[in-house]
Amino acid sequence: MVTVDQLCCLDGLIWLQSGNAVGALTLQHQTTVSRNQRKCAKAFGVDVLKRDGLWQIEGDCQLLELERGVHQAARLKLGQGLRLEAAFSPETALPEDLARVWTVGSSRIRKPDHFATLLEQRVIEAWLTSSVPLPGGSDSIVSIPVTEDPEPMQLVVHRDLHQQAVMAGLVAGLIAQHQQQPIRPQSP
């Protein structure tokens, strides 16, 4: 219904909360990001508004969520462009083989419920965090332990994705990376 770029720009804006950050992630100018997200929103009959400093979608999102599911299935099948929320410290980087599969971003919003919503709505595939488990214990979200030392880290994913081979590959890669150089989250 919409192009990959258009949906990526809309989802990126909701995820990262910055048109410039989406542009850097997608290698597009911020004005292109803005134009693409507007076209996407129009195609689904929703509005993208900034309220209280946060980008939000208003309107009936049923078709948008179905389209997100299709695009997520394509990312999983192709094994590229998968989205990982992770606020790494500057000295931490994904190993090259994982970087080819995963796009790493860090949202301006650092709240667990924001990331849970992004996972449930299929905007992102995974969230690497040292935070405590999600409040309310959503049935659609599961946590996979990654490290215990120097601090516990977990990969939080949508329940129907946690047994995907690509997730096992990400966890194994993160554990291997952590053994070489400890993964450190960026300070809030």
* Cβ partners under 8 Å of residue 133, min gap 6: 143
The conformational region for residue 104 under phi > 0 = left, psi -120 to 50 = alpha, else beta, is beta
- As a whole number of angstroms, the distance between CA 124 and CA 108 comes to 15
pLDDT, tens digit, 9 for 90 and up, residues 53-69 = 899 999 999 999 999 99
Q: What fold, for 79-188?
A: D-Maltodextrin-Binding Protein; domain 2 (3.40.190)
- As a whole number of angstroms, the distance between CA 102 and CA 155 comes to 13
Q: Which two tokens stand for residue 37?
A: 């997200």
The pTM assigned to this predicted structure is 0.90
Q: How confident is the model at residue 133 (pLDDT cuts 50, 70, 90)?
A: low
* Assigned architecture for domain 1-76: Orthogonal Bundle (1.10)
Cβ neighbours of 174 (radius 10 Å): 23
Identify the pLDDT of residue 87.
78
Cβ neighbours of 73 (radius 10 Å): 11
Q: Are 127 and 90 within 8 A, CB to CB? A: no
Say which residue, 89 or 154, is predicted with more confidence: 154
Identify the pLDDT of residue 140.
86
Q: How confident is the model at residue 92 (pLDDT cuts 50, 70, 90)?
A: low
Cβ neighbours of 164 (radius 10 Å): 15
Which value, in Å, is the radius of gyration of the alpha carbons in the chain?
16
Q: Are 63 and 1 within 8 A, CB to CB? A: yes
Helix (H) or strand (E) holding 114: helix 112-120
Q: Are 13 and 37 within 8 A, CB to CB? A: yes
Q: Are 117 and 138 within 8 A, CB to CB? A: no
Question: Domain spans of the chain?
Answer: 1-76, 79-188
Classify burial at 25, counting beta carbons within 10 Å of its beta carbon; exposed 0-12, middle 13-18, buried 19 or more. Answer: buried
* Averaged pLDDT of the chain: 88
Identify the pLDDT of residue 181.
79
pLDDT score of 82 more than 90: yes
